[in-house]
Structure 1
Amino acid sequence: MSRPTARVLTLLELLQSGGTRTVAELADRLGVEGRTVRRYVDQLVTDLDVPVESVRGRYGGYRLAPGYRLPPLMLSDDEALAVLLGLLAGRRTGLTTTGRTAGETASAKIRRVLPRHLAHRLDTLLDALAFTDRPGDFDPPDSGVLLTLADAVRHRRPVSIRYTDRDGRRSERTLHPDGVVAHAGRWYVTGEDVRIGEDRTFRLDRITDARTLPGSFEAPDAADPARRLLEGFATAGHRHEVTLRIHGTVGQIRAHLPAAVALLREYQHEHEHGHGHEPVADEDRAAERWLRVELRAERLDWLPPVLAALDRPFVIERPEELRALVTAFADRLTSYARAAREGAS
């Protein structure tokens, strides 16, 4: 769908919410100029036969004619199938809102009006479909909170949120949100916590209320909420801080230590420019060189098998305990191989 067409449909949604909307308000919500809003209104009236009324006066603008309702939603067979499969995938991965009820009732409504042949084909597909993962069991976010935060991100408006952290402590915060991220079955919002002046990430299912505040804020330069979320996971507080140097490509390392687990930085010798502090872009996957790998973990016993599977030269900078675990792991593999060879002879 082209952007002008999407904006025309967004304009219709805004008018459907009721009341009179000024040209200035509509222009701000759509991110266009006033004359463009008037052109979009003409498209609604002329091309889609939507009765939009022009209201004159100080508080004038546009509104839908009283009593107007959109016709029932019509879907093609392929569109209906796509919606149903999307609802199924959303329920399994946890990326739905307000629990399973809304998704289940929506699925039931669509299935009731499907042609018999298509419903039979859908049932055949569902019977044959298998998933490699288990169904997600997550607390879904409130849809009102999700939509409020998404609107604030788009229009750069501060929000007040009520948040409960993992220890059960409740607080009210003012946030400058810059992104909503879906990751591993959960929803997150990233942005600056105004009170402390630092970037923070909040789980949406722990937000009980979100209200848009007056004013606006400047968007951060080159904001990448998804990447910042993953880097936050990789550097979250844990018992052990691990620093490695691994010789390989970004792709080779990421295959075993994904972004949610480890942070990759360029490595430089101390006599050049220190240790290197710039995170490595995952797009730069081809070049093979020494890379600094940083991660935090509650336990270390899972790392020796990962490093062995990586099969690349590496240096353990810290902690000393990891060196001992890697050495013991290598000794066990050697003893297993020796015992197998002696048993065969």
Structure 2
Amino acid sequence: MAETTERVLRLLGLFQARSVWTGPELIEVLGVTTRTLRRDIGRLRDLGYPVEATPGVGGGYRFGAGGHMPPLLLEEDEVVAVTVALRVGAQGISAIGEPAVRALTKLDQVMPPRLRVEVAALADATALLPGATDDVDTGVLVVLAHAIRDRVRARFDYTGRTGEGSERDVEPYRLVATGRRWYLLAWDLRRQDWRTFRLDRMAGVRASTFRFTPREAPDAVEHVRRAVTRSGYAHRVRVRLTADAADVRRRVPEAYGTATSLGPGLSELESSADDLGLLARHLTLAAHDLGARLTVVDPPGLVTAIDEFVAAVGATPAPHGDSM
């Protein structure tokens, strides 16, 4: 019995380290027969762990969502509180976004269905102040994080910048948060090339049980940065601020703009966005926090957007022209 218990615990550990395994892989790692493996899988199921079997070529065993919480770690109310906090962190705070997704992935792996209902209810009742990142479904983040960890293919419908839709079958490698958006770096199987996908343009995201052998991948952050630069945004702006470039860089993250020095107490900031009104808001607040005067270099429409934002918040209207 002790040997059986030790083997089942080891099997559980394998599933927690990687949720998708083929039968031959488990037989080799555990050193057991096919019959013994099936018995041990049955024991895990009897204990409440949702091990799903996928038949056919490329199939295997998947450790599904909804298992018991590990004992003596968190009370149920603590699980709910932590999960909701992680969802907020994953969406609203770029500095902790990626670690929050990893933690969500682990919690999602073991959370019972009843707690999922409580978490969903609290998440629906929680609002984030807009402006940190796009509204990305944390469920999508968790699914992709699972697929990256388990090295299994992911499939989704994708809407490109021109509005054209397509189905994608990819090998996912890395999630990257830029401070505005979440991106996925993946190998596109149809196009046989590396591609960058915006998560807010995905729909019907799902992970398969088909595993892949990792390729030599490019640097994810640099690849996303180049892809974003190539694709561009609807609006690109240049403004000048009566502040040192170092101070501007501390206030404006690199993902939001690039500051260069024009001399002591004067810098130029280049930024871009699809929403000119949102960009006007960020720049106005940055200038206010820096105690700096902001002058619009380009485009003229940014002046109007800034004036509209100032009027909306009830502040003293900015002078018309190219500055405020």
The two structures have a TM-score, normalised by structure 2, of 0.49
The two structures have a TM-score, normalised by structure 1, of 0.47
Structure 1 or 2, whichever has the larger Rg, is 1
